[in-house]
Amino acid sequence: MSEQPIIRRRQVTTGISDSRVNNAKTQSQYQPYKDAAWGFINHWYPALFSHELAEDQVEGIQICGIPIVLRRVDGRVFALKDQCLHRGVRLSEKPTCFNKSTISCWYHGFTFDLESGRLATIVANPDDKLIGTTGITTYPVHEVNGMIFVFVREDDFPDADVPPLEQDLPFRFPERSEQFPHPMWPVSPSVLDQNAMVLGMHRTGFGNWRIACENGFDNAHILVHKDNTIVHAMDWVLPLGWVPTSDDCIEVVEEEHGPKGMMQWLFTDKWAPVVENQELGLKVEGVNGRAYRTSVVMPGVLMVENWPGERMAQYEWYVPITDDTHEYWEVIVQVCDTPEERQKYQYRYDHVYKPLCLHGFNDCDIYAREAMQNFYADGTGWNDEQLVSTDVSPITWRKLASRWNRGIAKPGRGVKGAVKDSSLIFKDTADGRRPGYKVKKIED
């Protein structure tokens, strides 16, 4: 006979507490966010740095599960769905262009108009009745100050409804100086500013974009940075962390025509530095360090003002590739009006900011994000996590993102990551290659 195994039960004294701030009611307010494993669609995302796409160069990337091919012609960048409508291969795998107004599939010669995506012709089948009746989706492009942005949209999202890039970028100054005064530092430069010099890097993060994004403006993760070289090099004395002291410690911005996001009132009396933990016998004296302020706007763009130096701002994007990978973008912006200023900034970026900040400092954020992936990957983390008062930041973000996203990306179809482990991926890993962002070109 087969008895069921004996299970003894008792009152749970550890485990999930009702005192957590993200109870069921709170969670119900950001369900759309929980559903956005593949990202928010119909938003602007950075695709490449300008220097990564030379004249006539073709590159393929993937954002929100959508393969995208970019080509630059006479300086202008075009973006189309990187999946031939015929047999689904990626055009970018073997770039084939016969003129300046089209891109052709290297396999069967299906040729698409760069401007409209329309099937313009088929190399070896010029009279086929399919020509002109179909096409692939195009994606609006905005290139500014060294960055190429793409509006990643659903196939049926109308051109007329495409918002300006500004609506998906952080709050700008001095326009917002009155709304968000910051006596402690000069106005923060924007990627869109005239003479803005944008320096930075991007790499693939192995984890979902949401847990990466939340780490960016989480005010309680200071611990991971305590041993950073930059901290000690600058003789900073960091507090143990920050706690909100007022209900309006975060300001949510939901103006109809502006970016939707939130600003955190750091370095004001709405957030208090924690300098002591009696339980642990920890005490910090003579706190000093760089004053900064973080904000985040849809679709997940971080701005760190006055960081990593004066008259600078660091911006970060966590661009969804699949549901378990994202492209991590870090850029530092400074306005440089003269060649001398540009040269000086470039030098300082190469020798200080890139090695000590974008790497040394932010590398710690990367392992923190990857460390969360197993917990959230199977969906259980979103329910099991127990958040506290300092998590007002991610919770506020989750709610506003649930209200203001322009669409939730569906799981990728017919793309890398749609089926979790194709032998193709096994072959890559077995060959010692890592899953990546850019499409690997075929060697002739």
Which of 131/144 has CB closer to its own copies? 131
| Cα–Cα distance, 401 to 32 (Å, whole number) | 8
**Side chain identity, residue 283:** K
Interface with its own copies includes 377 (CB under 8 A)?
A: yes
Biggest alpha carbon distance in the chain? 87
| Cα–Cα distance, 162 to 156 (Å, whole number) | 12
Interface with its own copies includes 201 (CB under 8 A)?
A: no
Which sign does the torsion angle of CA 138, 139, 142, 147 carry?
A: negative
Q: Indicate which single residue of 354, 425, 437, 438 sits in contact with its own copies (rule: CB under 8 A).
A: 425
Interface with its own copies includes 136 (CB under 8 A)?
A: yes
Contacts of 285 (CB under 8 A, 6+ apart): 237, 275
Interface with its own copies includes 434 (CB under 8 A)?
A: yes
Q: Looking only at residues 305 through 324 of this chain, which bind its own copies when binding is defined by CB under 8 A?
A: 322, 324
Interface with its own copies includes 190 (CB under 8 A)?
A: no
Q: For residues 69 and 83, is the Cβ–Cβ distance under 8 A? A: no
Write down the least CB distance from residue 144 to its own copies, Å.
26
Helix 209-217 vs helix 392-404: crossing angle, to nearest 10: 130
Which range in 186-194, 336-344, 346-354, 386-394 contacts its own copies by CB under 8 A? Answer: 386-394
Which of 3/74 has CB closer to its own copies? 3
Interface with its own copies includes 106 (CB under 8 A)?
A: yes
Which range in 140-148, 151-159, 165-173, 185-193 contacts its own copies by CB under 8 A? Answer: 151-159
Q: Indicate which single residue of 51, 75, 158, 181 sits in contact with its own copies (rule: CB under 8 A).
A: 158
CA distance readout (Å), 147 to 67, 74, 201, 358: 19, 17, 11, 17
Tokens of 259: 């970016």
Q: Looking only at residues 12 through 41 of this chain, which bind its own copies when binding is defined by CB under 8 A?
A: 12-21, 28-32, 40
| Cα–Cα distance, 297 to 249 (Å, whole number) | 16
Which of 127/340 has CB closer to its own copies? 127
Q: For residues 147 and 46, is the Cβ–Cβ distance under 8 A? A: yes
Residue 347's φ and ψ, nearest 5 degrees, are -60, -45
Interface with its own copies includes 109 (CB under 8 A)?
A: yes
Q: Looking only at residues 159 through 188 of this chain, which bind its own copies when binding is defined by CB under 8 A?
A: 161
Q: Looking only at residues 205 through 244 of this chain, which bind its own copies when binding is defined by CB under 8 A?
A: 206-207, 211, 218, 220-224, 227, 239-243
